[in-house]
C-alpha cells in the first residue's frame, strides 16, 4: 500500500531530521510508493508515474505525452488535432465538431448524421439531416440501406441481387448484359445497341427497330396486328388461318366488313342457298394494305344476287375474269347474278388507301356480271 507524506515532527524553529527529507526524496524519485496530492499549479519538466495519477483540475502539456492506455470517464476537449498511430476503441459515442479523418474504418457504421457543418467525405442533407458518403470504396456487406438517390453504379459491380424486389428507374440502364429469371417490365422504351435474347417475349405495345434488323431465331406468334415498314424474311412465313362465313339462311344479308369483326386478310365464305335471300357485302373505309377475299362455299341456288359494294360512291375499280371474257369494274357496286355465285368463284379486294381494287374470278359468262 502506498505511503502518505507526513508533516509529523516538523514545526517552526524545530529540528529537521533526515527522515523528514528522505520521505520527500523517496516519493519524488519513486524509491518508495507514495500518494502525492498537488493542489496548486505545478510545472514539471518530466513526470514518470508507475501508478495512478488523478487530476481534479486541468492538465496542460506543452510537449508530447506518451500514454499506453487512456481511460477517460468524461469528455475530452481538444483545441487542435489528435493523432493516433494505433487504434481508438470506444464503447460509447465519438463526436466531433471538426473533421474526423481516417485511412480506414473497421466494423459497423450505424445510425445517421445530425445536422452538421462538415465531416470529411460527408455532406449534410439539410432536408432530412442525413449525411451522404462521397465514395465508399470497399464494404463487405451493406445489409440495410435507404434510397440510392444519386450517382451511378459502374463497372466495379459484378452483380446486383435484389431478391424478390424491383429495380425501378425513370432513366436509362446501360450494361453489356441483363439476365433476368423473371419479368422485365418497362413503361417506356427498351433499346439495345446489340442483341436481345428472350425465351418468351410478350408485348403489349409496339416493337420498333430504328435503322437495324430484328432477328428472331424461333417462332413468333402475334395475336394482333403486325406493322412492318421494311421487309420480313424467313425460311417459312405462315399466317394464321382465318375463315368466317356468311349464310343467308335467316334472310337477306347486308354485311359491312368491320375489321374488328372480320380481320384484315380473312377469307369469308358465302353460302347462298336459301329462297330469294340476296347477299350484299359492303367493304370498310379505304385503308392502305387492307384486304379481303370472298369465296363461294356452296353453289348459289336462290333467286337473290350477290353484290360487293364500296363504302362510298365510285371507289370500286378492277376486273372480272369470266368463262368467255373479261369485264371492267368501275363504280360503287359489283354484282353477280342469281345462281351464278358458285363454288370456285373468288373475289379479291385490296385497298391502297384511296380506292378499293377488285379482282373477280367468276365461273359464269360476262353477261352474268355487272357494275354500277
Task: For residue range 169-204, list pLDDT tens digits in order.
Answer: 777 776 667 777 777 777 667 777 666 666 666 666
Phi-psi region of 291 (alpha: psi -120 to 50; beta: other; left: phi over 0): beta
Q: How confident is the model at residue 356 (pLDDT cuts 50, 70, 90)?
A: very high
**CA separation for the pair 328, 358 (Å, rounded):** 10
Asked if pLDDT for residue 15 goes beyond 50, the answer is yes
Q: How far apart are the first and last CA of the chain?
A: 133
Give CA–CA dist 331/164, Å, rounded: 64
Q: What is the pLDDT of residue 332?
A: 96
The rounded distance, in Å, linking the Cα atoms of 80 and 60 is: 13
State residue 127's pLDDT score: 43
Residue 86 vs residue 282, higher pLDDT: 282
Euclidean distance between CA atoms 201 and 192, whole angstroms: 15
Highest mean pLDDT among 33-37, 215-219, 234-238: 33-37
Give which of 105, 178, 165 is closest to 135, Cα–Cα: 105
Nearest-angstrom CA–CA distance, 319 and 181: 56
- Name the 3-class secondary structure at 368: helix
Strand, helix or coil for residue 331: strand
User: What is the DSSP code string of 31-93?
Assistant: SS-EE----S----S----SS----SS----SS----S----SS----SS----SS----SS-
Phi/psi for 72 (5° steps) reads -115, 120
Q: Nearest Cα to 222, choosing from 209, 237, 235?
A: 237
| Residue scoring higher pLDDT (213 or 254) | 254
Q: Does residue 323 carry a pLDDT above 50?
A: yes
Torsion over CA: 93, 94, 97, 103 (sign)? negative
What percent of the chain lies above the pLDDT cut of 70?
Answer: 62
Distance CA 299, CA 301 (A): 6
Report CA torsion sign: 119, 124, 130, 133. negative
pTM (2 d.p.): 0.41
Per residue in 251-309, pLDDT (tens digit) is 677 888 888 888 888 888 888 887 777 899 999 999 998 999 999 988 988 788 999 99
Greater pLDDT, 300 or 16: 300
If 0-12 CB within 10 Å is exposed, 13-18 middle and 19+ buried, where does residue 257 land? buried
**Which of 14-18, 63-67, 209-213 is predicted with the least confidence, judged by mean pLDDT?**
209-213
Residue 116 pLDDT more than 60?
no
Buried-exposed string 172-211: b where 16+ CB fall within 10 A, e elsewhere = eeeeeeeeeeeeeeeeeeeeeeeeeeeeeeeeeeeeeeee
Residue 203: its pLDDT value, please? 63
For residue range 27-71, list pLDDT tens digits in order: 777 777 777 777 777 776 677 766 677 767 677 777 777 777 777
Of residues 93, 86, 46, the one with CA closest to residue 72: 93
Kindly give, in sequence order, each residue whose CB lies less than 8 Å from that of residue 91, ignoring residues fewer than 6 positions away.
none
**Considering just the CA atoms, what is the radius of gyration of the chain in Å?**
49
Per-residue confidence band for 122, with pLDDT thresholds at 50, 70 and 90: very low
Domain limits, the chain: 1-59, 243-371
Q: Taking Cα atoms as reference points, which of 225, 226, 223, 224 lies closest to residue 214?
A: 226
Task: Compute the distance between CA of residue 265 and CA of residue 71 in angstroms, rounded to an integer.
Answer: 90
What is the rounded CA–CA span in Å between residue 123 and residue 117? Answer: 8
The H or E element spanning position 147 is none
Amino acid at each position: 500500500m502506498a505511503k502518505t507524506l507526513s508533516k509529523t515532527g516538523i514545526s517552526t524553529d524545530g529540528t529537521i531530521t533526515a527522515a523528514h527529507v528522505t520521505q520527500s526524496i523517496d516519493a519524488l524519485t519513486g524509491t518508495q510508493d507514495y500518494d502525492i496530492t498537488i493542489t496548486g499549479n505545478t510545472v514539471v519538466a518530466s513526470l514518470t508515474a508507475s501508478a495512478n495519477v488523478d487530476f481534479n483540475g486541468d492538465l496542460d502539456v506543452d510537449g508530447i505525452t506518451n500514454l499506453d492506455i487512456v481511460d477517460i470517464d468524461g469528455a475530452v476537449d481538444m483545441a487542435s488535432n489528435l493523432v493516433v498511430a494505433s487504434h481508438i476503441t470506444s464503447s460509447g459515442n465519438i463526436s466531433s465538431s471538426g473533421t474526423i479523418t481516417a485511412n480506414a474504418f473497421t466494423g459497423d457504421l450505424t445510425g445517421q448524421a445530425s445536422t452538421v457543418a462538415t465531416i470529411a467525405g460527408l455532406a449534410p442533407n439539410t432536408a432530412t439531416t442525413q449525411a451522404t458518403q462521397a465514395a465508399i470504396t470497399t464494404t463487405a456487406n451493406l445489409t440495410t440501406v435507404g434510397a440510392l438517390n444519386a450517382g451511378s453504379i459502374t463497372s466495379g459491380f459484378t452483380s446486383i441481387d435484389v431478391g424478390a424486389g424491383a429495380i425501378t428507374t425513370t432513366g436509362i440502364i446501360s450494361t453489356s448484359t441483363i439476365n433476368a429469371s423473371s419479368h422485365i417490365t418497362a413503361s417506356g422504351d427498351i433499346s439495345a445497341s446489340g442483341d436481345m435474347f428472350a425465351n418468351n417475349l410478350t408485348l403489349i405495345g409496339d416493337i420498333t427497330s430504328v435503322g437495324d434488323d430484328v432477328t428472331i431465331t424461333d417462332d413468333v406468334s402475334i395475336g394482333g396486328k403486325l406493322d412492318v415498314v421494311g421487309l420480313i424474311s424467313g425460311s417459312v412465313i405462315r399466317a394464321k388461318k382465318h375463315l368466317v362465313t356468311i349464310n343467308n339462311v335467316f334472310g337477306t344479308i347486308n354485311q359491312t366488313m368491320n375489321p374488328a369483326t372480320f380481320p384484315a386478310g380473312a377469307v369469308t365464305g358465302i353460302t347462298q342457298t336459301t329462297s330469294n335471300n340476296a347477299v350484299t357485302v359492303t367493304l370498310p373505309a379505304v385503308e392502305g394494305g387492307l384486304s379481303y377475299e370472298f369465296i363461294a362455299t356452296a353453289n348459289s341456288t336462290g333467286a337473290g344476287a350477290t353484290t360487293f359494294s364500296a363504302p362510298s360512291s365510285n371507289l370500286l375499280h378492277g376486273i372480272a375474269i369470266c368463262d368467255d371474257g373479261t369485264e371492267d369494274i368501275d363504280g360503287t357496286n359489283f354484282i353477280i347474278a342469281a345462281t351464278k355465285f358458285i363454288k370456285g368463284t373468288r373475289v379479291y379486294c385490296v385497298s391502297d388507301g384511296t380506292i378499293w381494287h377488285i379482282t373477280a374470278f367468276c365461273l359464269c359468262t360476262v353477261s352474268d356480271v355487272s357494275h354500277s
